Chains A and B, each alone.
Chain A
Amino acid sequence: GNSVTQMEGPVTLSEEAFLTINCTYTATGYPSLFWYVQYPGEGLQLLLKATKADDKGSNKGFEATYRKETTSFHLEKGSVQVSDSAVYFCALSDTGGFKTIFGAGTRLFVKA
C-alpha cells in the first residue's frame, strides 16, 4: 500500500541555518504530494503542495520538488527563523482518491 517516510526528529538548528527535511514515498500511480505544518498550539495547515512530477511547491521561503525518479519530496528552506519552529508532516493523496497518507512528522526547533 501507499506510505510516506520522513526523517525522524527532532531537528535543532540555529537561526539562519539551511533546513532539509527528507521525505520519501511509496505509491502506485501518480499521487499528489503535500507538506503540512503544525505550529505550537495550532491546527495542521497546508504549507505547500505539488501535483505532478518535477513540480516545485513553494511558500513562506520553503520549497519542495516532486521527484518521481527518487520518489522523494524533500522540504528545504535557505534560512530558518525561530518562528519556523513547528512539526512538519509530509503527505500524499492518490490521484482521484480521497485517502491522504501522512508521515510521522518531524519536529523542528530553531534557536536564536
Chain B
Amino acid sequence: GAGVSQSPRYKVAKRGQDVALRCDPISGHVSLFWYQQALGQGPEFLTYFQNEAQLDKSGLPSDRFFAERPEGSVSTLKIQRTQQEDSAVYLCASGRGGDSETQYFGPGTRLLVL
C-alpha cells in the first residue's frame, strides 16, 4: 500500500517568506509526528497529533512554526518569516497509535532558506 508522502520534496525560500509543508500519512493512521533533521544529525521532535488533536507541540522551536491536522488525516507544517537556521529536512511520520508504536516515515521535505 501507499506509504507516507510529503510535498514538496524540495523547497527554496527567501528569508522572510512563509512556507507550507504537506504530509499525507498512511490511511487510517491515528498518530502523526513532525521532525526537523539538520545535516548529519538525528531527527528532532517538533510536534505530535492524535487524530486531529495536537497533543504535544513542545518541540516547535518558535512561534513562527505552526502545525495543523484539521480532519485527522493530512497535516501541514507552516513556517512563517523563514530564517536561515530553519534550513533542514522536515520529516513526517505516521503510526497506528498506542505505546511504543512503530513510526512510518515519509521521504522528507528539504528546505533551504537563502
B46 → A minimal CB distance (Å): 10
A104 contacts B42, C-beta separation under 8 Å: yes
Interface presence of A79 (CB below 8 A): no
Q: B108 contacts which chain A residues (CB < 8 A)?
A: 43
CA distance A49 to B33 in the complex (A): 18
Q: A44 contacts which chain B residues (CB < 8 A)?
A: 43, 91, 93, 105
Q: A93 contacts which chain B residues (CB < 8 A)?
A: 100
Contact with A along B55-81 (1 / 0, CB 8 A): 110110000000000000000000000
Count the B residues whose beta carbon is within 8 Å of the partner chain — how many? 28
Beyond A44-B43, A44-B91, whether A32 also contacts B100 by CB under 8 A is yes
B43 contacts A99, C-beta separation under 8 Å: no
**A31: nearest residue on chain B (CB-CB)?**
B100
Q: B44 contacts which chain A residues (CB < 8 A)?
A: 102
Q: B42 contacts which chain A residues (CB < 8 A)?
A: 4, 89, 91, 102-105
CA distance A110 to B107 in the complex (A): 24
Interface presence of A14 (CB below 8 A): no
Which residues 96-114 in B have Cβ within 8 Å of A in the complex? 99-100, 102-108
Which residues 87-109 in A have Cβ within 8 Å of B in the complex? 89, 91, 93, 95-105
Contact with B along A41-57 (1 / 0, CB 8 A): 01111100101000000
B56 contacts A99, C-beta separation under 8 Å: yes
B105 contacts A51, C-beta separation under 8 Å: no
**A95: nearest residue on chain B (CB-CB)?**
B99
A59 → B minimal CB distance (Å): 11
Task: Pick from B41, B45, B100: contact of A49, CB below 8 A.
Answer: B100
Q: A42 contacts which chain B residues (CB < 8 A)?
A: 107
Q: A104 contacts which chain B residues (CB < 8 A)?
A: 40-42
Q: Can you list the 7 inter-chain pairs with the closest CB atoms, starting with the nearest?
A: A102-B42, A32-B100, A98-B48, A44-B105, A43-B105, A51-B100, A46-B102
Using a CB–CB distance below 8 Å, which chain B residues touch chain A? 3-4, 31, 33, 35, 40-45, 48, 50, 55-56, 58-59, 91, 93, 99-100, 102-108
